[in-house]
């Protein structure tokens, strides 16, 4: 969201008055509708974002992922296994290391 706001400001030549009202609308919508743990988890688990150079490791994103994992995986042993898989995903190891998957990251939808 921050990137989108920065681009809006740049398009309006960084004139604070010109983009302030637009930013307020974005912030209101973001806080009310989109700023949720599930969205943070989706961002974290999307390979297009995870493997990009500007991937955000902000604490809020990690908390969102952990909250979702606790809700979706109530069994502690299963959650431990999911965390092991998550580390493989983060480090591009195991099934996440294959070249075909790496080249498809920018071309495929994350649900494919």
pLDDT in tens, 53-106: 889 888 989 999 999 999 999 999 999 999 999 999 999 888 777 765 566 666
Residues 24, 57: Cα–Cα separation, whole Å: 25
Say what the pLDDT of residue 63 is.
Answer: 94
Write down how long the chain is.
112
Q: Whole-number mean pLDDT of the chain?
A: 83
- List all residues 6 or more positions away from 104 whose beta carbon is below 8 Å from its beta carbon: 112
Place of tokens 């042993």: 77
Which whole-number Å values give the CA distances from 37 to 41, 47, 104, in the listed order?
Answer: 6, 18, 27
> Smallest Cα–Cα separation from 41: which of 59, 68, 79, 60?
68
Question: What residues does each domain of the chain span?
Answer: 2-34, 37-104
The answer to whether residue 48 scores a pLDDT higher than 90 is no
Say what the pLDDT of residue 108 is.
Answer: 62
- Following DSSP, what letter does each residue of 31-64 receive, concatenated? IIII-SHHHHHHHHH-HHHHTSTT----HHHHHH
Reading the block at residue 94, the tokens are 């195991």
Say what the pLDDT of residue 88 is.
Answer: 93
């Amino acid at each position: 969201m921050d990137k989108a706001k920065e681009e809006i400001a740049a398009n309006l030549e960084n004139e604070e008055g010109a983009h302030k009202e637009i930013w307020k609308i974005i912030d209101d919508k973001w806080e009310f509708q989109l700023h949720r743990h599930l969205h943070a988890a989706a961002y974290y688990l999307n390979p297009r974002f995870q493997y990009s150079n500007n991937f955000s490791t902000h604490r809020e994103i990690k908390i969102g992922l952990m909250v979702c994992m606790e809700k979706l995986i109530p069994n502690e042993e299963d959650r431990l296994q999911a965390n092991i898989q998550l580390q493989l995903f983060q480090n591009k190891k195991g099934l996440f290391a294959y070249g075909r998957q790496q080249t498809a990251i920018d071309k495929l939808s994350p649900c494919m």
